Amino acid sequence: MASLLRSLVSSPRLAHHPSLDLTYISASSPTIIAMSTPATTFPYNTYRNPASSVLEFLDATHGRDNWWIWELQAEGTDYDTALFGGRVSSVRWPDHLPPPFALVVRAVGEMGAWVKDGKTPTPTPTPTTPTPTSSPPSIVEHTGTNKHNPTKPRIIVLHCKAGKGRSGTLSCAYLITHATFSAPDALALFTRTRMRPGFGEGVSIPSQRRYVHYVEQWARDHNHQYIEHRVRIHEVHVFGLRKGVVVAVRGWEDDDESAAAAAAVGKLGRGGKCSDTDTGTTTTLSEPDRAKPKPLGESLKIWHTFTDAERRLTSPPSSSLSTPSSSSSTTTTIDCILIPPTPLLLPTNDVNIAFKQTVSPSWSPLSSIAITTATANVWFNAFFEGGGEGGIDGGDRGDGGSGVFEALWEDMDGVKGTEMRGGRCVERVRVVWSVEGRGA
């Protein structure tokens, strides 16, 4: 019965094992496995991968010392990493969102060091130890010997909850940075190997796909150099804004020291080390001993919600039919500029603009209760969206820059990243921003 339930839950996805939701994205070097989350407790182990079966499969097929797991679940997992001998690293961010780009930099560096040299990231602590921070873990030499088959390649194992969006994003990132795939080719390979025909794209969320294309820019145009900046939001231009829509600016909460260690020093090489682009020196970064706030990617924050007082109209309100011509119902829209009353600074390059429309229907006995009729959001990364040589005007030198990002309603992420956004509540958005250095 459990096997049947597991098959039903994973039915949109291809599986390379009769009783495990597990797929080889790339069967030759590099060998990448994507899978749904391992589970140990009821009821999760009835429809997810039994953790003990995953361990047995990996050991029997690839050898105990030839695989390493990266888990991507900010919502947490249902297993103790000790079950896998501690061979698990956490690169976590919430479901249905793109990762903070600094996490991509860290993850592909770790995976490259593991595949090439057998260097293993510091394992994720068990629940009895302090929570890891967003700093890159120290890289240590792999000391184990493969007693099963020393000729087999080292395996990358990725899992999120369903082994789809987040796992696909990092699978594609690794293929682009270490196997010279283009972003479209990497996305197509993940869909072809992970999804059954007719069940859609493997990485389907627009913002996640945008970040996969950022990875290609990072590898192709920036020589794997990524600099974290603070981003100042000057204005948000909204076109076709409907009544009852709240507009918010969201981003990641971040500890300056952790973020600086993760990316701001400059270039993360394929060996997992950071190079200081000013001095030319290379250092291995280790995690500080003291406890830190939540790691980057595990704490999403609403940095500002715009009020009507912060809205400046750029054109008179216009009306259009909201139903077929047989009805006299109309929808009033406005074009406006939203201006924060005080400087609005986000701690990383990753920016999210979110829209939510609510109504309180007068015909309902529950008219005092607001009903959500539309929701959409869009992510972008300021490092890659500007017009300068470094991805932003002057950005690679860390001396600031500015840019504009635009997105249509159709390009935004809906409920849980799907196309279900509800009724159209805006036509498009334009964000005017600039960057400031870490010391700002």
| Per-residue pLDDT tens digits for 80-99 | 999 999 999 999 999 999 99
pLDDT digits (tens, 9 = 90+) for 216-237: 999 999 999 999 999 999 999 9
Q: Are residues 15 and 143 in the same domain?
A: yes
CA dihedral 163, 262, 121, 83 (to 10 degrees): -50
Q: Are residues 237 and 175 in the same domain?
A: no
* pLDDT above 60 (res 68): yes
Within-domain flag for 270:
no
> What is the C-alpha separation between 409 and 430, in angstroms, rounded?
11
Q: Are residues 173 and 153 in the same domain?
A: yes
Q: Are residues 151 and 192 in the same domain?
A: yes
Residue with tokens 């334009």: 430
pLDDT digits (tens, 9 = 90+) for 391-402: 444 444 344 589
What are the E-state strand segments in 277-427? 282-283, 300-305, 311-313, 318-321, 330-338, 344-346, 350-359, 371-381, 401-408
SS3 content of the chain, % helix, strand, coil (to 5): 25, 30, 45
Tell me which DSSP letter residue 166 carries: H
Predicted pLDDT at 30: 87
Q: Are residues 205 and 97 in the same domain?
A: yes
Sign of CA dihedral 73, 78, 84, 85: positive
Q: Are residues 17 and 101 in the same domain?
A: yes
Report CA-CA distances (Å) from 232 to 22, 125, 167, 236: 42, 35, 31, 11
Q: Are residues 143 and 210 in the same domain?
A: yes
- In the chain, the N- to C-terminal Cα span, in Å, equals 58
Contact 232, 434 (CB under 8 A): yes
* Rama region for 186: left / alpha / beta (φ>0; ψ in -120 to 50; rest): alpha
* Residue of higher predicted confidence among 328 and 431: 431
Q: Are residues 193 and 320 in the same domain?
A: no
Domain CATH for 399? 2.60.40.1110
Q: Which two tokens stand for residue 387?
A: 């017009």
Other C-beta atoms closer than 10 Å to the C-beta of 369 total 10
Q: Are residues 182 and 235 in the same domain?
A: no
Confidence bin at 5 (pLDDT 50/70/90): low
Comparing C-alpha atoms, which of 9, 90, 89, 84 is closest to residue 45? Answer: 9
Q: Are residues 68 and 101 in the same domain?
A: yes
Contact 74, 298 (CB under 8 A): yes
Number of folded domains that form the chain: 2
Percentage of residues in the chain with pLDDT exceeding 90?
60
> What is the C-alpha separation between 431 and 351, in angstroms, rounded?
10
* pLDDT above 80 (res 142): no
Q: Which two tokens stand for residue 72?
A: 């991507």
Predicted pLDDT at 2: 54
Confidence bin at 359 (pLDDT 50/70/90): confident
Beta bridge partners of 245: 357
Predicted pLDDT at 401: 85
Q: Are residues 239 and 217 in the same domain?
A: no
Helix (H, G, I), strand (E, B) or coil at 99: coil
Within-domain flag for 29:
yes
Within-domain flag for 261:
no
Domain CATH for 216? 3.90.190.10
Write down which residue in 201, 221, 241 finishes a domain. Answer: 221
Q: Which domain holds residue 189?
A: 2-221
Predicted pLDDT at 318: 78
Q: What angle do CA 348, 354, 358 make, to 5 degrees?
A: 155
Contact 313, 335 (CB under 8 A): yes
Lowest mean pLDDT among 123-127, 340-344, 414-418, 430-434: 123-127
Q: Are residues 164 and 249 in the same domain?
A: no
Predicted pLDDT at 155: 96
Burial of 128 per CB tally in 10 Å (0-12, 13-18, 19+)? exposed
Other C-beta atoms closer than 10 Å to the C-beta of 327 total 9
Percentage of residues in the chain with pLDDT exceeding 70?
73
pLDDT digits (tens, 9 = 90+) for 91-140: 999 999 999 999 999 999 999 999 998 988 877 655 433 333 333 333 33
* Residue of higher predicted confidence among 216 and 264: 216
Q: Which two tokens stand for residue 381?
A: 């990364």
Within-domain flag for 310:
yes
Within-domain flag for 279:
no
pLDDT digits (tens, 9 = 90+) for 338-352: 999 999 999 999 999
Lowest mean pLDDT among 51-55, 347-351, 384-388, 397-401: 397-401
Within-domain flag for 288:
no
Residues 6+ apart with CB under 8 A from 260: 228, 438
Residue type, 64: R
* pLDDT above 60 (res 272): no
Burial of 135 per CB tally in 10 Å (0-12, 13-18, 19+)? buried
Confidence bin at 16 (pLDDT 50/70/90): low
CA dihedral 230, 294, 105, 109 (to 10 degrees): 150
> What is the C-alpha separation between 429 and 109, in angstroms, rounded?
34
Mean local confidence (pLDDT), 66-72: 97
Lowest mean pLDDT among 71-75, 99-103, 259-263: 259-263
* pLDDT above 90 (res 149): no
Considering the chain, what is the average pLDDT of its residues?
80
Predicted pLDDT at 3: 59
Q: pTM score, two decimals? A: 0.81
Mean local confidence (pLDDT), 321-333: 58
Within-domain flag for 280:
no
* pLDDT above 50 (res 287): no
Comparing C-alpha atoms, which of 177, 397, 170 is closest to residue 271? Answer: 177
Within-domain flag for 200:
yes
Comparing C-alpha atoms, which of 146, 124, 121, 148 is closest to residue 65? Answer: 146
